[in-house]
Amino acid sequence: MASTWGENIKLSIFGGSHTEAIGVVLDNLPPNEKIDMEKIRVQMARRAPGKDKTATTRLEADEPQVLSGLFNGVTTGAPLAAIIANTNTRSKDYSDLKIHPRPGHADYTASVRYDGANDIRGGGHFSGRLTACLVFAGAVCRQILERRGITIGAHAYAVGSAKDTPFDPVNVSKDDLNALNTRFFAVNSPKAEEKMRAEIEAARLDADSIGGIIECAAVGVPAGIGSPMFGGIENVFASILYGIPAVKGVEFGAGFDVACMRGSENNDAFYYDENGLVRTKTNNAGGILGGITTGMPILFRIAVKPTPSIGREQHTVDLTTKTNADLTIHGRHDPCIVPRAIPVAEAAAALALMDLLR
Ligand SMILES: Cc1cc2nc3c(=O)[nH]c(=O)nc-3n(C[C@H](O)[C@H](O)[C@H](O)COP(=O)(O)O)c2cc1C
Ligand SMILES: C=C(O[C@@H]1CC(C(=O)O)=C[C@@H](OP(=O)(O)O)[C@H]1O)C(=O)O
């Protein structure tokens, strides 16, 4: 499987939702970087399952066990390897799904691709559980990036029809991002969180699920990072963001809205600020021109689909009898993926920047 990523750093993720553990190897990190395990735990806890009514009831400690690459609290330069135990599995919920693939999940395509040998339990290697590994690796990288003046933060931009206050594309600051990037279900406006929780609860009570959008920003990234044609910021970010299960769209800056703008409206006018730095008056470009950073905040949004495993009866097929069938899924699923995926988006951004800066 293509579970290895990165040009300059090498990220490799292994395991399945119900295997003994999942794990991650991250290679070519700079040596002698101090890594605070407590900061890693804060990020892991933001994503961990079993948190509240917006999440799956599967409860996992998500305590990473570092096997190598850290010694006396600093990176050694050797591959950093960690595992995270799977303890609260309930594999019987999945016994029927090899025959009756879940609409919206990877059961059918995985079975075709891997000749039926794929581990179906908990979604196997396709599970959102694997994002615990992304968060671990991202939590390491973001500590290194912080020391280089880079701060990353994200919030729930939308859940169903409930919307949060978006980032100010020009002035989003380190303080704004630091107010978000250690929180569960981070939002700019508490009112928005209330409305989002109501949307999630309504879907849950309806034996259904709901999607949304996560907005993420990185500030302090100097101008001049990234390369044409395929090594640009958009290329590198998109390739890791699409590795997050359930992500179906990625947009940068004004994104798809540019399609209905005129050039005079979309172009971000340059000016020199009081420190002699080139800045732009607007930031429709999301901090990226020609794949290269402008020095303005990098801004992107990801569209997260509604959780495929829902409680309602659905139509599927029986792969053994080759007939149409009905399916009722038994299991513990997130009614909405957005709240738990916020730290995952930040982690992906940290990995992308680490790769681009290395
Ligand atoms: C943090 C996170 C949690 C998820 N939780 C669930 C879940 O509880 N149930 C489910 O069916 N899918 C869940 N997903 C989504 C599926 O893993 C995903 O839809 C599936 O692997 C198919 O991949 P695709 O949606 O990218 O096509 C979750 C994804 C993430 C990132
Ligand atoms: C365990 C996690 O989320 C899981 C992601 C997931 C899926 O299909 O993606 C399905 C569920 O797995 P299970 O049926 O084993 O409970 C979620 O609980 C996690 O994110 O740590």
Check: CB of residue 56 under 8 Å from CB of residue 49: yes
Average of per-residue pLDDT values in the chain: 97
The Cα 36–Cα 3 span in angstroms is: 26
The Cα 97–Cα 100 span in angstroms is: 5
Average pLDDT over residues 12-21: 97
CB 141 less than 6 A from any atom of ligand 1: no
Q: Around 139, how many Cα atoms within 13 Å sit in the side-chain half-sphere?
A: 27
ipTM over 0.95: yes
Helix (H, G, I), strand (E, B) or coil at 40: helix
Give pLDDT tens digits for 63-100: 999 999 999 999 999 999 999 999 999 999 999 999 99
The CA R_g of the chain, rounded to the nearest whole Å, is 21
The CATH number that applies at residue 98 is 3.60.150.10
Task: Indicate whether 311 pLDDT > 70.
Answer: yes
Residue 94 belongs to what domain range?
A: 4-357
Strand order in the sheet with 247-252: 162-163, 151-159, 212-219, 298-304, 247-252
Q: How many domains does the chain have?
A: 1
Give pLDDT tens digits for 171-214: 999 999 999 999 999 999 999 999 999 999 999 999 999 999 99
Give the Å distance between the CA of 217 and the centre of ligand 1.
23
Give pLDDT tens digits for 213-261: 999 999 999 999 999 999 999 999 999 999 999 999 999 999 999 999 9
Local confidence band at 133 (pLDDT 50, 70, 90 cut-offs): very high
For ligand 1, what atom is nearest to the CA of residue 47?
Answer: 1
Q: Around 43, how many Cα atoms within 13 Å sit in the side-chain half-sphere?
A: 30
Q: Establish whether 227 is an annotated binding residue.
A: no
Average pLDDT over residues 124-141: 98
Residues comprising the chain, all counted: 358
Q: What is the pLDDT of residue 168?
A: 98
Q: Establish whether 31 is an annotated binding residue.
A: no
The angle, 0 to 180 degrees and rounded to 10, between the axes of the packed helices 131-146 and 338-357 is 50
Determine the residue type at 270: F
How many of the other CB atoms lie within 10 Å of CB of 201?
Answer: 15
Pocket test for ligand 2, best of 19, 43, 56 (most atoms within 8 A of CB): 56
Among residues of the chain, what percentage have pLDDT more than 90?
99
Burial readout 139-170 (b: 16 or more C-beta within 10 A, e: otherwise): bbbbbbbbeeebbbbbbbbbbbebbbeebebe
Would you give the end-to-end CA distance of the chain in angstroms?
25
CB 245 less than 6 A from any atom of ligand 1: yes
Task: Indicate whether 1 pLDDT > 60.
Answer: no
Q: What is the pLDDT of residue 51?
A: 86
